[in-house]
Structure 1
Amino acid sequence: MPDVNETKAVELAKVLKEKQEAVNKAVDEVKGLGEELKGKLAKGDKVTEELKNDVDKLLTEVNGLKSQVHDMEQAQARNPVTPQGKQTLGSMVVKSEQFKSCANISKGDKLSVPINTKALGGPDYTDYSAGALVQPHVVSTVTLPEQRLMVRDLLTPGNTDSNMITVPREAVFKNNADATPEGWIKPESHLNFEQETVAVVTIAHWIKATRQILSDASGLQSMIDGRLRYGLKLKEEQQLLNGTGNGVEITGLIPNATKFKNESNVKEFTIIDQLRLAMLQVVLSGYSASGHILNPVQWAEIEMAKDDIGRYVIGNPQGRAIPTLWGQPVVATPSMKQGEFLTGAFKMGAQIFDRWEMSVNIAFNNDDDFIRNMVTILCEERLALAIYRKEAFVTGTLLGVQGVPPTPPNSETN
């Protein structure tokens, strides 16, 4: 149900609309009387006192209505309706009809809650935070800090109803397009595909909780959002980057990416330069790079880089915008090995296929749980990653100013 403030705001908007319509109607009447008055004066006719009074009365009414409309518009601007907070996975569970009916859950019963991912920010999961359990009043003139991007945000979303996906991977494209004189045979280009089958993988985990937490909606919501959902998406990110594709794991981006190669005549380059050269390598493969993935250590080093007089090259200590480099978003994640990078055409070169979007199941798991008043809360999803062209992704070790590989801990040179 809408709260009191929201109801008042809706009523204010309704009254404001009615007042504006009244102003428009009165203005039309004034215009009509004004035309009548102008016509009489043009003909030399006598203007009656009644007509003058009618005009004065309408003008007074219009001015009064306009003043009311102005005051109401100011009130509306000062007190905008607080936007409804984006739902989190936990809030969807505790507000669901399935959860509300679980008070009498008994041994052997299982509660399954369907999740509407569009309410979580759409299929691309633009917001992965646990979410505030108490939504603040938001003033429209204040810019809220952006949430950290994740690997999924860079990829094209999709859905599947199968447990296996056949991927048409582009192998060869020979472009023979050319200007052709009239009557001549048109040139033929060649586009060959290789088919690869990738498995839909299940990512899941569960925790134990007391039955009493089912009566504590806020506690259950924070547990699902802060632990289950976050942990699931963190593992998903690791798999999207590094999965081996052996049937149990996702086919990851890095194991299938092309190794970095300097295709330019530039011999000495910085880390920032190298990421631009990686974008060039993607472009030469026929695609356009749409993002970079780095370890947070390297991204911090890039943001803190300074010129000869101590000015930040790209960093802004007061900035809160989404990280970008060379016009493309940057995902800084611990799932990326320190000292390495991945640059690619994420939107065109790969796609996520969700088989099961995130779901939550609550049940007594065994006799011991039943007598101890313990429940099992399971969170899981099923998905696959299709990579359409390996050359659309470039990975490697970030090099130093002179092209000499650094030696960060736990890092190897490609």
Structure 2
Amino acid sequence: MSNFAKIRPIGRRRDGRPIYPIKGGAPTLTEQRDEIAALLADESYDGDINELLQRADTVAAAIEQANQRDARLRALRAAQLPAGDPPPQPGQRQQPGLQPDDQGQQHPVTAAEAFVRSAALAHFRANGAVGKFSVEHRDAPTGTVTTTNGVPTVPQRVPGQIPANPDFPLLIANLLDRQTSTNNTLEYVRDISGPVAGSGTWNKAAVVAEGAMKPQSGPFAWETITTSLKTVAHWVPITRQAADDDGQMMGYINGRLTYGLEYQLDRQILTGNGTTQMQGILTTPGIGAYQPGVGNTDAKLITVRKAKTQGELALYPPDAIVMNPLDWQDIELDTDANGQFRVITSVTDSGAPMRIWGLIVVTSVAMAAGTALLGGYRMGATLWERQGITILMSDSHADLFLANTLVILAERRANVAVHTPAAFTKVTFAAAT
């Protein structure tokens, strides 16, 4: 007889029908397990053994699922949030900066998020917002260039404050190899030999007979460059009330301070004078130059292609070109005699990566109209960073303490080592006719 028949009722209804522990008298998983185990152990069992085995598998799977559910429940109840992540109140959204980004990256992912989540800011607020403190955030080199990389977060509009107005995607710094410096003094070797294929001196490697002298390549010319890392900084005032609002403060840091540093960094990479400023590529002696000959009216599209060939002949294949937005506009809108565009672009997707002749195109108003900088950026220069973006806050500037106003300052230290000038070519387009 089945063990199901042995289940005892725990009471009776008014009409006399029994009440079982499980609704409808269904046995528990434990009771089902015990009954099937007894039948499997019964050597005289003459029922359908295949059906019994299927029941055994079903009950075992159900018990395993129940065990896993119980284990997950106990683990969830035992889990502890990190000290920097206070649990949100019911119905309240998480504080800004506490969420992962759209790609699931670990937070914080920006200087603003690192700042608002820092223990230093919590201590500053706990002590009545008196004194000053700083928080450093270093960006990891991305190595990937897209037309949306580096576009700043638009801050909340606050009366009396003018939000930042970016004029171009911040991409030039991402074209370079990026390294971390451990010293404020930067010393590197610059190749000034400028080897050219076919010169007969750069590479004399050859098949050598046994016992014969091996050829010497070169000569090469080098110079040691010693410079220092330069500090780029600026600050903005912020009211104490706005500083107590993480959302507003992140708007200031992302929308004005961080973007301002990146904006200036891109310009320094191109045109820094190398003395009181960073070393700009365009001001480095030894870079190549290409300009159509007198009377040559090549279209800008053709000029870029010929300049690319010059870079390849110098044995430094270019990978990107930086040009003024007006020049890129002329290239995109260039048409043939039939009115057909020579460059195929998608006017419906402004976020698509810009390329020409296989080169990444970066537009920047820092590049003078009528010129462009083509080069093997990762091969030719390195951006050395001693200090990531550091955010400081203080109430001790001038008379702002009396005005219930704080100061947020952002700074970074970096410089560019243009160690292979021959990897770059300054392009000058033919004058419009």
TM over 0.5: yes
Q: Deviations over 1:305-360 (max 9, x none)?
A: 23444443222112332111111211111111112100011001110000111110
Return the match for 2:428 from 397, 410, 414.
397
> Rg: which structure is higher?
2
- Residue identity in the other structure for 2:179: G
1:341 is paired with a residue whose SS is strand
1 CA distance for matches of 2:173 and 2:398? 39
Number of aligned residue pairs:
322
Return the match for 1:115 from 137, 161, 176.
137
Cα 1:381–1:367 change in 2 (3 A) is: closer
Q: Answer whether contact 2:292 2:298 (CA < 8 A) is retained.
A: no
1:49 offset after TM fit, Å?
6.8
Return the match for 2:177 from 142, 146, 156.
156
Mark the runs of 5 or more structure 1 residues left unpaired by the alignment.
Answer: 1-47, 65-80, 135-146, 400-404, 408-414
Q: How does 1:242-261 map to 2 (within 5 A)?
A: 242-246=271-275, 248-256=276-284, 257-261=287-291
- Residue identity in the other structure for 1:84: G
> 1:369 maps to which residue?
400
1 CA distance for matches of 2:289 and 2:127? 54
Q: Answer whether contact 2:292 2:429 (CA < 8 A) is retained.
A: no
2 CA distance for matches of 1:211 and 1:123? 38
Q: Deviations over 1:78-124 (max 9, x none)?
A: xxx96436722222211222222221456861120121423xx6488
Cα 1:60–1:103 change in 2 (3 A) is: closer
What is the RMSD computed on CA atoms of the aligned residues?
Answer: 3.2
Cα 1:206–1:380 change in 2 (3 A) is: same
Return the match for 2:249 from 220, 227, 232.
220
Mark the runs of 5 or more structure 2 residues left unpaired by the alignment.
Answer: 1-45, 63-100, 157-167, 196-201
Return the match for 1:232 from 261, 285, 288.
261
> 1:168 maps to which residue?
189
1:406 is paired with a residue whose SS is coil
Q: How does 1:8-407 map to 2 (within 5 A)?
A: 50-53=48-51, 83-84=103-104, 87-104=109-126, 109-118=131-140, 122=142, 127-131=149-153, 148=169, 150-172=171-193, 173=195, 174-190=202-218, 191-246=220-275, 248-256=276-284, 257-261=287-291, 269-312=298-341, 313-319=343-349, 320-366=351-397, 368-399=399-430, 405-406=431-432
1:369 is paired with a residue whose SS is coil
Cα 1:83–1:397 change in 2 (3 A) is: closer
- Residue identity in the other structure for 2:432: P
Q: Answer whether contact 1:305 1:315 (CA < 8 A) is retained.
A: no
2 CA distance for matches of 1:309 and 1:102? 67
1:181 is paired with a residue whose SS is coil
1 CA distance for matches of 2:59 and 2:300? 70
2 CA distance for matches of 1:220 and 1:82? 21
Q: Answer whether contact 2:116 2:246 (CA < 8 A) is retained.
A: yes
Cα 1:177–1:332 change in 2 (3 A) is: same
1:101 is paired with a residue whose SS is helix
1:167 offset after TM fit, Å?
2.0
- Residue identity in the other structure for 1:380: E
2 CA distance for matches of 1:160 and 1:124? 22
1:219 offset after TM fit, Å?
0.4
1 CA distance for matches of 2:138 and 2:387? 11
1:57 offset after TM fit, Å?
5.9
Q: Answer whether contact 1:305 1:314 (CA < 8 A) is retained.
A: no
1:181 offset after TM fit, Å?
2.5
Q: Answer whether contact 2:374 2:424 (CA < 8 A) is retained.
A: yes
1:113 is paired with a residue whose SS is strand
More helix by share: 1
2 CA distance for matches of 1:149 and 1:129? 7
Query: What TM-score results when the alignment is normalised by the length of structure 1?
Result: 0.70
2 CA distance for matches of 1:218 and 1:178? 66
2:389 is paired with a residue whose SS is strand
Cα 1:362–1:284 change in 2 (3 A) is: same
2 CA distance for matches of 1:61 and 1:149? 61
2:208 is paired with a residue whose SS is coil
